[in-house]
Amino acid sequence: MAELGQGAAGATAAPRRADRIVAVAVRPGEGLGFRLAGVEVVEVGPGEEAAKLRAFLSRPEMGVVAVEERVVAEVPEPVLKRLSERPVPVLLPFSLPRGGAGEGPGQAYAAALVRRAIGYQVKLSGRARP
């Protein structure tokens, strides 16, 4: 029997929509919470943004790649333009909470996505502690 994503001849086929995965690109040390949730994480250090994102986004199984805004900010505009011209994977910039009081627009949006996905209101607050 052929493995998932492979045809009878063993050639890798494009993943079906249901086989695509969600992944996250963040700065080193910021991926633990995502990993604990079962999400694939790539840590991107300063100067590695364009190369790591190109490699990560070129994988055929990628469906949605959430990229922390500080990583996206360092990717050259021509690279972002090329990456955004493809329908899949979807590049979804987001911001991590950096302290401060109250819920920002990014946090409200993320909470709404979680509520829609699991049917339950989740309060996203606080900072991760080592």
The structural domains of the chain, with segments of one domain joined by +, span 17-96, 100-130
Q: Can the peptide bond before residue 89 be classed as cis, meaning omega within 30 degrees of 0?
A: yes
CA gap 20, 64 in Å, rounded: 8
Architecture of domain 17-96: 3-Layer(aba) Sandwich (3.40)
CA gap 48, 35 in Å, rounded: 21
Give yes or no for a contact between 91 and 67, defined as CB atoms under 8 angstroms apart.
yes
- Note down pLDDT in tens along the chain; length 130 residues: 333 344 444 555 555 555 778 899 999 999 988 998 889 999 999 999 988 888 888 888 888 889 999 998 998 888 888 877 777 888 888 888 765 545 555 566 677 777 777 776 666 555 544 4
Global confidence as pTM? 0.60
Residue 35, helix vs strand vs coil? helix
